[in-house]
Chains A and B, each alone.
Chain A
């Protein structure tokens, strides 16, 4: 089976603190892996490593069969164009409008005309339920709207891989569910491969084909929600029992 994302014994330390210890996993094409774990267990580090923002100390990371830790910048950029990344706090460029944020990757990496870009920006914003706010600045919209704009930007190039860091944090339950629905739509209709870091167990149950629990730098368990509920590790079962955000 094809695995667009693959980690092989990846270790990462910051000073004397080891945040990831020989983490190994893979995500099959069109599947969703939800990574769970307490704050500070290295979930954000793991997801940023997939896009090459934080290099590992040892181990290998493969994205669509390319080992990205040893890629020169130009080739890494080519791999990044095939991934969308939704940041925890959206990370919208605050000096340009919402529409320009979504258009940014299109202007940089495609030869689309202005009209085509405008149309595509409209479509992407409509898809996240935010059509008509192109001219607003990021500071003029709510946190939930910013997150959805961030998702529209991440999807602008129609990437086959989507990475999302805490997509539900700071969102009301209705918006959170809408975003889950969008993830499911991407999975079913576009076969997008996703890695989603989340604290929100109901979300993870809804959208994850597999769930993984990170604890003290190690991936303690990986499997379906039902499998994790029967895990040998108490901490994993405890995660699965908590229905709200943890």
Chain B
């Protein structure tokens, strides 16, 4: 037990130092702009179909559940606004973060792990390229930049999914649904919750890069890096979300309404 605790603390310390190195190296030259752009395409654009499909499905299901609850009180008119608030404030950011962790976290862990065991990372260093900057900082930066955009995409497809579910039952027009969806949403409902996904992106990018970059062993090590990337980044993301929600309530008291 004592040994496990020691190993856990050691791991946490190494991860913290790895994260600090990301912050330290990010502003240093070379900026690796082209590689960050490539990673944004690889990580963001290729994740978009999953996020859009999931957003539509989540919105439709949430709309059906919300209707089942609200029609008991004759409050069906609040369905669009309720759905929009739930999506923007919590469901959109959290579901996007977890999907992102599954798709991108596993990918980064496996890719960097494979590069480590096949000596590609050593090859980068031997070619006088800072492998940490080129591989890790660029991926973390792409994750941080892309996740708020993907979250926004999920929020909007969620509203569209909710509209489709609602119009099938009640025949509500899109114009009316759209107007009602936005009736209760304001700045503090959308911006802080969406920006917190930058932190989610940092967690997914850093944890997956840390595990991949430090992979040991062959194919087994790569597989472990991939799986652990998803598990650990998902757990950290969920726990951090609790802290961030509390921080948002503290900084934007109106977000509690």
Which A residues lie at the B interface, using CB under 8 A?
A: 48, 51-53, 73, 77-78, 80-81, 83, 85, 87-89, 91-95, 104-105, 108-109, 153
> Does B169 touch A at the CB level, under 8 Å?
no
Q: How far is the CB of B164 from chain A (nearest CB, A)?
A: 38
CB neighbours of A85 from chain B (8 A): 123, 126-127
B128 touches A87 (CB 8 A): no
The reply to whether A48 and B128 contact each other, CB–CB distance below 8 Å, is no
**B130 interface residue per 8 A CB criterion:** yes
Q: Is A53 within 8 A of B128, CB to CB?
A: no
Contacts of B126 in A (CB 8 A): 51, 53, 80, 83, 85, 87
Q: Report which of B111, B120, B129 forms a contact with A91, defined as CB distance below 8 A.
A: B120
B130: chain A residues within 8 A (beta carbon): 73, 77
CA distance A81 to B130 in the complex (A): 12
Q: Which residues of B contact A (CB under 8 A)?
A: 111, 114, 118-120, 122-130
Closest to A104 in B: B127
Contact for A87 among B111, B114, B122, B129, CB less than 8 A: B122
Do the beta carbons of B118 and A89 come within 8 Å of each other? Answer: yes
Q: Which residue of A lies closest to B42 (CB)?
A: A95
The minimal Cβ–Cβ distance linking B10 to chain A, given in whole angstroms, is: 16
Interface pairs A-B: 4 shortest CB-CB? A91-B123, A85-B126, A91-B119, A80-B128
Contact A91 B128 (CB under 8 A): no
Q: A94 is contacted by which of B120, B122, B127, B128 (Cβ under 8 Å)?
A: B120
A77 and B119 contacting across the interface, CB-CB below 8 Å = no
Q: Which residues in A have their C-beta under 8 angstroms from that of B129?
A: 77, 108
Given contacts A73-B130, A77-B130, contact A91 B125 (CB under 8 A): no
Measured between C-beta atoms, what is the minimum distance from A75 to chain B in Å?
A: 11
Q: Tell me which residues across on chain A come within 8 A of B119, comparing CB atoms.
A: 87-89, 91
Chain A residue at minimum C-beta to C-beta distance from B38? A95
In Å, the complex CA distance between A131 and B118 comes to 25
Cβ of B127 and Cβ of A108 under 8 Å apart? Answer: yes
Which one, A78, A89, A92, A95, contacts B128 given CB within 8 A?
A78
**A162 → chain B, closest Cβ, in Å?**
11
Q: How far is the CA of A105 from the CA of B127 in the complex (A)?
A: 6
Specify which chain B residues have a CB less than 8 angstroms from the CB of A91 in the assembled complex: 118-120, 122-123
**The residue from A51, A53, A93 contacting B120, defined by CB atoms under 8 A apart:** A93
